[in-house]
Chains A and B, each alone.
Chain A
């Protein structure tokens, strides 16, 4: 079904040639202008009641993440506990949107979440990275198995990486086909599907024109979300890149009426930064996107900074690192 839409938008059968023509025909991006617009949005001053609202919104949009070689079941359980109860001193604090882990630990997250898991009527999802994250350098079979494994282990969302090698050598159809295949691998036996977030790894794509092209390819191939980065490559998420991806989902929505989400990940550590992203979302794609179904922050240390700021707003004085929990 999704590919029917892609065919309509591209205006022909989907082939290496037609996709290439489509992405290379997209309007260019002037980097300086894009960065200036992002800098302009970053000057918005969000104070008092708006700030309180913004901080709660940020918490509810976080994919609380641990993606280390040293991850253990214990670490994941600790992360889940934080996701469920971010601020033990303030029960009014919202829960995060999801926890994001490697695929082999997805089942640990599911178990630890228990009733808080979306599958059990809760509100926290389990996201697993797949497709030979973070490099994506593995055969198609391995990537699909990686994906299917994570879905079988209970992952609600799959964060896949695109094949940057294929993209940078101009094999756009190959990138497209792989996303389509992974999307297929997200399907569960009952016919439902895990949501697919497609990581572009914008730091490796290097140019904004490439980011725009990759965003369109991913959306045409059926991505539910387009995501900036793995967090393993610098630069990870930046405000201009996120702005650009928001412009793409906005344009896609205008064109087709379909909604696709955006997830900046990596490098967003302060509340101040995160508020700038909220402003950018609201003023570019629209307020409708300030919803876990359409926007996420891939982050770990961001949560505690937001909690410190929430405490400052609640008490009127500045808080300290020992007044929030580590996970």
Chain B
């Protein structure tokens, strides 16, 4: 009666493709019960570099898509997540050692949070932007725009899927591209999410997922000159002050560790990685 299962190979997600680490390294992922679950790719600094390159390539197209389009693309991701709900529950349960209902609660919350962010795509600019009544014959408007490439250290050690969603969705909904270092101990759902993204309409390179050692990868991302912003939400266990100091070299926008708790649905997380652009134009009938 027992059928021999076909296990999944978990790889990195870079530029829409699933490569192994260029270093050839992998590391064991164990379940909460200590049982072997899988070997995950252990990304190197060169994988991080490739991921930043892929993200940079993707920014213009993604940021240039209409907000309505980005909203629909992200909503489509939620649909696909829902379709794989059972798989995610199982992965979260096995990896984090949660009860079935708790794992389900996390996955449901992750899907609903994704939907929540998808809905912001064509609204955040209305909330965070302004028409400015300047004293002169000018049309003047301030609009938020994506910062560009955001490097993210996902929350570590807890709520692996929800944590990932809570940092990735707000960053990409505005048009940023991200390079995210997944939960080091529980990276499997991150790679499964990557599979969802790969089969959705999210363009390759918009989300790049690295598994491996956050401590090893973070300094390279923090120092990378072509990274515009650094989300240290999951970096509280790392030497994040040094990362912040390193990020200062190119004046990256830095979101420090969440400091206790992370509000998974937060407009502030969206606006943390946007730039306000103010455009003036003369106004005259003559």
- In the complex, is A directly touching B at CB under 8 Å? yes
Assembled-state Cα–Cα distance A31/B286 (Å): 6
Assembled-state Cα–Cα distance A30/B137 (Å): 12
A297 to chain B, nearest CB (A): 23
Which residues on B sit within 8 Å (CB–CB) of A32? 136-138, 282-284
Q: Scan residues 258-286 of chain B and give those whose CB is less than 8 A from a CB of chain A.
A: 282-286
Assembled-state Cα–Cα distance A309/B138 (Å): 38
Which residues on A sit within 8 Å (CB–CB) of B283? 32
Which residues on B sit within 8 Å (CB–CB) of A166? none
Contact yes or no, A208 B286, CB < 8 A: yes
Which residues on B sit within 8 Å (CB–CB) of A206? 286
Q: Is the interface of A mostly helix, strand, loop or mixed?
A: helix
Contact yes or no, B282 A33, CB < 8 A: yes
Which residues on B sit within 8 Å (CB–CB) of A35? 284
B214 to chain A, nearest CB (A): 53
Q: Is the interface of B mostly helix, strand, loop or mixed?
A: loop
Shortest Cβ distance from A208 into B: residue: B286
Assembled-state Cα–Cα distance A201/B77 (Å): 64
Which residues on B sit within 8 Å (CB–CB) of A72? none
> Is residue A234 contacting chain B, with contact meaning CB distance below 8 A?
no
Which residues on B sit within 8 Å (CB–CB) of A31? 282, 284-286
Which residues on A sit within 8 Å (CB–CB) of B285? 31, 207
Assembled-state Cα–Cα distance A35/B137 (Å): 11
Contact yes or no, B286 A207, CB < 8 A: yes
Residues 90-114 of chain B, each 1 if its beta carbon lies under 8 Å from chain A, else 0: 0000000000000000000000000
Shortest Cβ distance from B282 into A: residue: A32
Assembled-state Cα–Cα distance A31/B284 (Å): 6
B255 to chain A, nearest CB (A): 40
Assembled-state Cα–Cα distance A32/B137 (Å): 7
Interface centre among B136, B138, B284, B286 (most CB of A within 10 A): B286
Q: Scan residues 172-230 of chain A and give those whose CB is less than 8 A from a CB of chain B.
A: 206-208
B134 to chain A, nearest CB (A): 12
Assembled-state Cα–Cα distance A85/B282 (Å): 48
Q: Scan residues 119-141 of chain B and give those whose CB is less than 8 A from a CB of chain A.
A: 136-138
Shortest Cβ distance from B281 into A: residue: A32
A36 to chain B, nearest CB (A): 9
Which residues on A sit within 8 Å (CB–CB) of B137? 32
Assembled-state Cα–Cα distance A12/B244 (Å): 67
Shortest Cβ distance from A33 into B: residue: B282
Q: With contacts A31-B282, A32-B136, A32-B283 known, what are 15 further pairs, Cβ within 8 A? A: A30-B282, A30-B284, A31-B284, A31-B285, A31-B286, A32-B137, A32-B138, A32-B282, A32-B284, A33-B282, A35-B284, A206-B286, A207-B285, A207-B286, A208-B286
State the A residues within 8 Å of B (CB): 30-33, 35, 206-208
A-B contact pairs, 18 of them (CB 8 A): A30-B282, A30-B284, A31-B282, A31-B284, A31-B285, A31-B286, A32-B136, A32-B137, A32-B138, A32-B282, A32-B283, A32-B284, A33-B282, A35-B284, A206-B286, A207-B285, A207-B286, A208-B286
